[in-house]
Chains A and B, each alone.
Chain A
C-alpha cells in the first residue's frame, strides 16, 4: 500500500531532551515536507526537500533540523525541544507538482 509512515503517533517529552520523528514513504516521491498544525494557525511548513541531499527552510524552521540521505526517509529532529514546539506534526510526500500524501500525524507534547 502506498503510504507515508510517521513514528511515533504520540510523544510526550521534557524540555531539552533531543528527539527524532521519523517519516518514510514507499512511493519513490522526490518531494517531502514537514508541517506543524496549531489551532487558528493552520498548517505551517517547517522544512522541505526536493530530492536527496537537498533541503530548504519552510516558514517556521527555527528549532528544527532535517536530513534527506535517502529518498524514502525524511526525519525531523528537535535538538532541544521547548514547550512552544508542542503541536501536531505531519510529514507529506509527492511527485513534484502533484497531490500530496500525508502521514497520520505525530502529536508532540513538550513539558
Chain B
C-alpha cells in the first residue's frame, strides 16, 4: 500500500499534556502535510513540511521530518479539549502530485 501509517491509532491524554503522533511512509516524497478532522467534518490543513526541511513550527504544533527513516512526527504542546480530533498525515510523492493520506490518529483530550 502507498498509504502512510500513523502511530498510534488512538491516543488519550490529560489536558495540558503534550501529544505526539507519528507517520511513516514508503516512497520518496516532495512534501508531507498534517491535517485535523473533527468528527464527520472536512479535513483542515495544519502544516506542510518540505522534503528539504527537518523541523517546522506553527503555534503549539511542531512537525519533524526524517527522510532517511521515511517518518514524521506531529507534536501538540499544552493540549486543550478543542484539540480532540483525528489527525492525518499526507504526503505528495516525487513522481507526481498525487497526495496519499494515512489512516489517522484519533486524539482524545481528557478534562
Chain A bound to chain B? yes
- Chain A residues with Cβ below 8 Å from B30 are 97
Q: Is B45 an interface residue (CB 8 A)?
A: yes
**A104 touching B42, Cβ below 8 Å:** yes
Given the interface pairs A97-B92, A99-B33, A105-B41, the reply to whether A45 lies near B98 with Cβ below 8 Å is yes
**B97 touching A103, Cβ below 8 Å:** no
**A43 touching B31, Cβ below 8 Å:** no
**A43 touching B88, Cβ below 8 Å:** yes
**A42 touching B40, Cβ below 8 Å:** no
- Chain B residues with Cβ below 8 Å from A45 are 98-100
Given the interface pairs A97-B30, A97-B31, A100-B45, the reply to whether A31 lies near B97 with Cβ below 8 Å is yes
Q: Is B109 an interface residue (CB 8 A)?
A: no
Closest residue of chain A to B92, judged by CB?
A97
Indicate the size class of the contact surface on chain B: 20 to 34
- Chain A residues with Cβ below 8 Å from B40 are 88, 105, 107
Q: Is B110 an interface residue (CB 8 A)?
A: no
Q: Is B3 an interface residue (CB 8 A)?
A: yes
| Whole-angstrom CA separation of A106 from B85 in the bound complex | 19
Q: Is B13 an interface residue (CB 8 A)?
A: no
Interface string of B81-102 (1 = CB under 8 A from A): 0000000101010000111111
- Chain B residues with Cβ below 8 Å from A97 are 30-31, 92, 97
Give 16 CB contacts A-B under 8 Å.
A42-B3, A42-B101, A42-B103, A43-B43, A45-B99, A48-B98, A90-B42, A97-B31, A97-B92, A97-B97, A99-B45, A100-B45, A101-B45, A102-B44, A103-B42, A105-B40
Instruction: Show the binding face of B for A, using Cβ within 8 Å.
Output: 3, 30-31, 33, 35, 40-45, 48, 88, 90, 92, 97-104
